[in-house]
Chain A
Amino acid sequence: MSPPGFEGAAPLGVSTALLIKLRLRRLHNQMRAASQRKKKKDNDPKKAGEQATARRTGNPGKQGSNVVLYVFMPMMLFVFGSITRNAVFNLHETLDPGHFWRTVEFAAPFVVGLAFLLLVMWLSSLLLTIASGELAKPDWDLEWLVTLPIRAHTLLWARILERSVVNPTGFMALAPACTIIAWYSGHRWMAPVLGLMAAWPLLLLAALFRTLLDTGLRLRMSAAQLRNLHAVISVLAIVGMYLAMSLGMAGKATFMLGIAATMPDWLRWTPMGLAVLALNERDGLHACFLWAALAALTYAIVWLGIQWLHHQLRHGVVSGGGRDTARGAAAVAAPGSVPAVVPDAAPNYWSRIGAVQRRELTLLSRDRNFLVQCLVIPLLIVGGQLLLGSSGVATTMWHEPNVLASVAFGLAAYSLSMSAFQTLNTEGHALWLLYTFPRPIEAVLKDKAKLWSVLTLAYPLAMFCAGLFLMPQVGWKFATAAVTAFLGIPIYSFIAVALGVFGSNPLEQQQNQKVKPEYVYLYMGLAGLYIYAIVTPNVFQRIVFMVLSLLLAFALWQKARDRLPYLLDADVAPPARVSTSDGLIAAMVFFVVQGIVVAIGGLSGATILVAFSIAGAFTYSMMRYVYARARTEGVPRIVGERPQPLIGVIMGLAAAALGVVYLFLVRDTPLMDEAQRANNAYSQLGLWVLPLALIAAPIFEEFIFRGLIFGGLQRSFGLWPAALASAAVFACLHPPISMLPVFGLGLATAIAYARTGSLLAPMLAHATYNACVIGAQLLFK
């Protein structure tokens, strides 16, 4: 007797609803898991006397994913909205010039143009979604779902419905566009609602085509073909994205507008065109008719698609033998006599490359997807940015060596973010193998970093060779720009690998969760900072920044090394601690912001002082915010257990005494001109000097240089080396005249911090020093 209620398949509506609920619940659980770890950390500091190792502190990085959602979503919506708005305006100018068009019925060519716009957005979002997923492997849950007693029909409908709802790229591409069209058709407050109503059928179509490709095609094509297809789609997706965006840019849209003008009239009867017409229609009855037509057409297309899919899947959802195979290649190469032993007569240079690097190169040559991602996509993206960017960088590149060097470095850095940053992800599930080798994992990662820095040098090399030919004059400037760019690449390769240790998730199944976005942004931000070093005309600043980057690479590498034993131990990672690398990043940001403010405001003494304060305030708030979010331990406190302000004052006076003596000695030298400028600054700023020099500067700078840099170094190196190093870094960031006394101040404040363990004493020392120096300079006037 068959079990009660099991007549065969579950009814369509019920199963669809269940499947969608399942997906949404999974999504909900994912987001809750991320925020629950945050809540758990709330209780931890309150528990006294519990062993740190026994506490499951959770993975601090995972919290950040919510930030991406809540901060970047509105931003992206806004960005897409303005792009489409410009596109709409551009289209109108080209296709229907001169007529009044807002809130009235659009002219026919304009409707065709808008339909074209929607088509382009639809197509590029579809390509992007496919490119960012895995084409060659079936969806992780499909194999399991087909064993449930639901008909394939239901499964497919549910899959398409679910994909139409959970499609962030498509949503960004279509919803703002439809809303804008609705807005300019005269619907005011109803515009977002109508926009969503129009976008949803288009999203359904996108989901249909996506399913057609990844479930239907997968059965027909071999894995190798699918991977090639995926690589091609990745390339097309980027190109398509830029073409779509170019519609919205003034002056760059001519190409796409030309195409829009040639679009045939029947485009109006496609779902995109119907959506435009429906949004535009003000008359109630006509509007209902158009909405119904849109719904009917969409349903018809989806129905047809599902029939075809059903036909494709009639023999089963997952076909056998869908993996890349090496047999074909072997058979072609040497039938029957493939040598099992690698011939010893390999060229000598090949043997210099280590086993890890050879394996990496083999992977690169065989996995075309990886190759395209690392080497082709960066070229496309940077190329697209150049062509679409408004600053005309594409032309000045060939006149200004600094600009050329920045573009070359940017390209290399982007390529590194795809390759070196992902070194752990390329290990994937085979990461356990690394643990069985008698080599420290750190050594393996170093090999990889070296390999990628060599490979990525190819781009800047090519660009600079081209520059040699194309530039009007090749001289000292060219050489320094080239050297700065070339030296930056190995440094950033190591930085990328070190950050990748934190930012990647090698055991993760889903493609888009393999990388933690905030670490990518951090890496990109740091690379951007380096570009400042390339373009700055001041040689001294350039060198200082390069040295800072080098130090940062070391510091990050050290931090990553601490994390390496926990790679496969995801639940018990040590809690985030303040480290030297944080201090160095803060110092770099400080340096750059200060440089930028000075560049804007001119080189007077007043600007320098203000720049210091602004840079300090910005860096301080940024670090505090990041630490608060990540609940880092060991954040330097202002008032600790033994404040002892007197020590601070004493050290400050000592440093000030040194400073005054120095000023006295230097009185007759040309360096005094700078001091004169400082004097003018004080008279310009008037009373503002006092709070800036006595309150703002000490607070911010002490936090960064003593709290973070000195504190981090002290943990690894001991008091005196750390004090000297941190004082040196501190001194380098000041104008040349004050470097020596500032070095002394750095030492004094470091001692004060070490003695008291809190920031109050160093801050007082710094304030005292500043007061004395200002007073002395005023006296000397």
Chain B
Amino acid sequence: MIECQGLTRRYGDFTALKPLDLTVARGEMFGFLGPNGAGKTTTIRMLMGILVPSGGRALISGLDCQTQRAEVQRHVGYLPDNPMFYDFLRGREILQFVAEMHGLPRSEAAERTARMLAEFGLADVVDEFAVNYSMGMKKKLGLACALIHDPDVLILDEPINGLDPRAAREVQDRLTQAAASGKTIFMSTHLLDMAERVCTRVGIVHRGELVTTGTLAELRERVVPGGSLEEVFLRVTDEEVAPEAATT
């Protein structure tokens, strides 16, 4: 479903992402882990066509993310790590705008908007300007924007970051529900306990390079037998050990 073929990104002499080869199958919930600055957000932005790859390409459903961006977005829902919305527009209006831009007719857009806002628990703040929302409410609104057109693929950048425990649990449940209904979810996070609970496969990036990837069981076996994901992560992203030595 999601394929990265040698995806690279350079900023002058600095390589933010070394050639990345990755495949996420349909229905998988893939966790993209890594320390800060490892290149997670860069990868996601290249998947969304926001950044232009310096080399290689990214494909979603067989379509190139950069050259066929508009077509790709039909199937993709995106949540950035710090969603910012328009000034002077209410949450309800923004969600309706997003629904209409995805091609839904007006009445259906309005009905879906009302339903999603109720589901996400935002019903009492819909009439407030979106820029006044707290971080949690903004993320919920962003997630609603990502789900409103019922996409096949969800690309989420740090979805739980900044949420209180209840909201975090609600979002996790939604994501699991979505995965169960056949959606593919590509999620970047540095919250390991959630990743452990929810993801079917994980990949760990460190300094722009995909160091290891596989299911949780495989990783544990390979890196730290009997250990938790946290131990695996710390071992793999150890600063003093060369990245290659951490994998087999």
A contact residues vs B (CB 8 Å cutoff): 53-56, 323-327, 330, 338, 340-342, 344, 346, 351, 355-356, 359, 362-363, 366-367, 427-430, 432-433, 435-440, 565-566, 568-569, 571-572
Distance (whole angstroms) from the CB of B62 to the closest CB of chain A: 16
Give 7 closest A-B pairs by Cβ, nearest first. A56-B12, A429-B84, A355-B100, A438-B73, A366-B88, A437-B101, A438-B74
CA distance A326 to B94 in the complex (A): 14
CA distance A344 to B107 in the complex (A): 7
Taking CB as reference atom, which chain A residue is nearest B155? A436
* Contact residue among A55, A324, A439 (Cβ-Cβ distance under 8 Å from B12): A55
Distance (whole angstroms) from the CB of B65 to the closest CB of chain A: 10
Distance (whole angstroms) from the CB of B209 to the closest CB of chain A: 18
Within 8 A of A (CB), among B67-104: 69-74, 76-78, 80, 83-90, 92-93, 96-98, 100-103
A351 touches B106 (CB 8 A): yes
A565 touches B49 (CB 8 A): yes
Could you say which residues of chain A place their CB within 8 Å of the CB of B54?
A: 53-54, 572
CA distance A433 to B82 in the complex (A): 12
Q: Does B134 contact A (CB under 8 A)?
A: no
Taking CB as reference atom, which chain B residue is nearest A330? B127
Distance (whole angstroms) from the CB of B207 to the closest CB of chain A: 18
Taking CB as reference atom, which chain B residue is nearest A358? B97
Could you say which residues of chain B place their CB within 8 Å of the CB of A351?
A: 106
| Given A325-B129, A326-B90, A341-B111, 17 extra CB contacts under 8 A | A53-B54, A56-B12, A323-B129, A324-B129, A326-B129, A340-B123, A428-B87, A430-B85, A432-B83, A435-B50, A435-B69, A436-B145, A436-B146, A437-B98, A439-B101, A565-B52, A568-B50
Could you say which residues of chain A place their CB within 8 Å of the CB of B96?
A: 342
Q: Does B114 contact A (CB under 8 A)?
A: yes
Q: A324-B129, A363-B88 are in contact. Are A436 and B51 (CB under 8 A)?
A: no
Q: A326-B128, A326-B129, A341-B114 are in contact. Are A436 and B73 (CB under 8 A)?
A: yes
Could you say which residues of chain B place their CB within 8 Å of the CB of A435?
A: 48-50, 69, 73, 78
B98 touches A433 (CB 8 A): yes
Q: Does B131 contact A (CB under 8 A)?
A: yes
Q: What would be 16 A-B contacts, judged by CB atoms less than 8 Å apart?
A: A326-B128, A340-B117, A341-B114, A355-B100, A359-B97, A366-B88, A432-B50, A433-B145, A436-B48, A436-B98, A438-B71, A438-B72, A439-B70, A566-B52, A568-B51, A572-B54
CA distance A18 to B131 in the complex (A): 34
Could you say which residues of chain B place their CB within 8 Å of the CB of A338?
A: 127
B126 touches A356 (CB 8 A): no
Could you say which residues of chain A place their CB within 8 Å of the CB of B76?
A: 436
Q: Does B132 contact A (CB under 8 A)?
A: yes
Residue of B97, B107, B123 ringed by the most chain A CB atoms within 10 A: B97
Could you say which residues of chain A place their CB within 8 Å of the CB of B117?
A: 340
CA distance A560 to B72 in the complex (A): 22
CA distance A341 to B77 in the complex (A): 23
CA distance A435 to B50 in the complex (A): 7
Could you say which residues of chain B place their CB within 8 Å of the CB of A342?
A: 96, 106, 110
Distance (whole angstroms) from the CB of A721 to the closest CB of chain B: 25
Could you say which residues of chain A place their CB within 8 Å of the CB of B110?
A: 340-342
* Contact residue among B77, B87, B128 (Cβ-Cβ distance under 8 Å from A325): B128
* Contact residue among A53, A340, A362, A572 (Cβ-Cβ distance under 8 Å from B89): A362
CA distance A438 to B96 in the complex (A): 15
* Contact residue among B71, B92, B114, B132 (Cβ-Cβ distance under 8 Å from A323): B132
B contact residues vs A (CB 8 Å cutoff): 10-13, 45, 48-52, 54-55, 66, 69-74, 76-78, 80, 83-90, 92-93, 96-98, 100-103, 106-107, 110-111, 113-114, 117, 123, 126-129, 131-132, 145-146
A430 touches B52 (CB 8 A): no
Distance (whole angstroms) from the CB of B16 to the closest CB of chain A: 10
Could you say which residues of chain B place their CB within 8 Å of the CB of A566?
A: 52
B102 touches A437 (CB 8 A): yes
Could you say which residues of chain B place their CB within 8 Å of the CB of A366?
A: 88-89
Taking CB as reference atom, which chain B residue is nearest A53? B54
CA distance A351 to B100 in the complex (A): 12
A437 touches B89 (CB 8 A): no
A437 touches B132 (CB 8 A): no
Could you say which residues of chain B place their CB within 8 Å of the CB of A324?
A: 88, 129, 132
CA distance A742 to B109 in the complex (A): 59
Could you say which residues of chain A place their CB within 8 Å of the CB of B66?
A: 565
CA distance A355 to B128 in the complex (A): 20
CA distance A432 to B127 in the complex (A): 23
B11 touches A572 (CB 8 A): yes
CA distance A340 to B114 in the complex (A): 6
CA distance A433 to B102 in the complex (A): 11
Could you say which residues of chain B place their CB within 8 Å of the CB of A440?
A: 69-70
A54 touches B10 (CB 8 A): yes
CA distance A280 to B114 in the complex (A): 72
Distance (whole angstroms) from the CB of A62 to the closest CB of chain B: 15
Could you say which residues of chain A place their CB within 8 Å of the CB of B127?
A: 326-327, 330, 338
Could you say which residues of chain A place their CB within 8 Å of the CB of B92?
A: 340
Could you say which residues of chain A place their CB within 8 Å of the CB of B87?
A: 363, 367, 428
CA distance A430 to B145 in the complex (A): 13
B11 touches A571 (CB 8 A): yes
CA distance A171 to B113 in the complex (A): 53
B128 touches A327 (CB 8 A): yes
Distance (whole angstroms) from the CB of A726 to the closest CB of chain B: 30
Distance (whole angstroms) from the CB of B208 to the closest CB of chain A: 15
* Contact residue among A326, A344, A355 (Cβ-Cβ distance under 8 Å from B97): A355
A438 touches B80 (CB 8 A): no
Residue of B69, B71, B114, B126 ringed by the most chain A CB atoms within 10 A: B69
CA distance A599 to B101 in the complex (A): 52
Could you say which residues of chain B place their CB within 8 Å of the CB of A363?
A: 86-89
Could you say which residues of chain A place their CB within 8 Å of the CB of B98?
A: 433, 436-437
Could you say which residues of chain B place their CB within 8 Å of the CB of A53?
A: 10, 54-55
Q: A432-B50, A437-B102 are in contact. Are A340 and B129 (CB under 8 A)?
A: no
Distance (whole angstroms) from the CB of A366 to the closest CB of chain B: 4
Could you say which residues of chain B place their CB within 8 Å of the CB of A330?
A: 127
CA distance A341 to B49 in the complex (A): 33
A362 touches B10 (CB 8 A): no
CA distance A346 to B85 in the complex (A): 26
* Contact residue among B12, B102, B131 (Cβ-Cβ distance under 8 Å from A438): B102
CA distance A181 to B92 in the complex (A): 60
B114 touches A367 (CB 8 A): no
Residue of A427, A436, A569 ringed by the most chain B CB atoms within 10 A: A436
Distance (whole angstroms) from the CB of B123 to the closest CB of chain A: 8
B73 touches A437 (CB 8 A): yes
Could you say which residues of chain B place their CB within 8 Å of the CB of A439?
A: 70, 101
B50 touches A569 (CB 8 A): yes
Could you say which residues of chain B place their CB within 8 Å of the CB of A436?
A: 48, 73, 76-78, 98, 145-146
CA distance A351 to B114 in the complex (A): 20
Q: A327-B127, A432-B50, A565-B52 are in contact. Are A438 and B97 (CB under 8 A)?
A: no
Distance (whole angstroms) from the CB of A612 to the closest CB of chain B: 44
B129 touches A432 (CB 8 A): no
Could you say which residues of chain A place their CB within 8 Å of the CB of B78?
A: 432, 435-436
B107 touches A56 (CB 8 A): no
Taking CB as reference atom, which chain A residue is nearest B79? A436
Taking CB as reference atom, which chain A residue is nearest B46? A569
Q: A54-B10, A323-B132 are in contact. Are A569 and B86 (CB under 8 A)?
A: no
B88 touches A569 (CB 8 A): no
Taking CB as reference atom, which chain A residue is nearest B49? A435
B49 touches A340 (CB 8 A): no
Distance (whole angstroms) from the CB of B70 to the closest CB of chain A: 5
CA distance A55 to B87 in the complex (A): 36
Could you say which residues of chain A place their CB within 8 Å of the CB of B80?
A: 432
Distance (whole angstroms) from the CB of A733 to the closest CB of chain B: 38
CA distance A363 to B90 in the complex (A): 11
CA distance A330 to B128 in the complex (A): 9
CA distance A433 to B80 in the complex (A): 9
Q: A341-B111, A342-B96 are in contact. Are A438 and B103 (CB under 8 A)?
A: yes
Residue of A342, A346, A366 ringed by the most chain B CB atoms within 10 A: A342
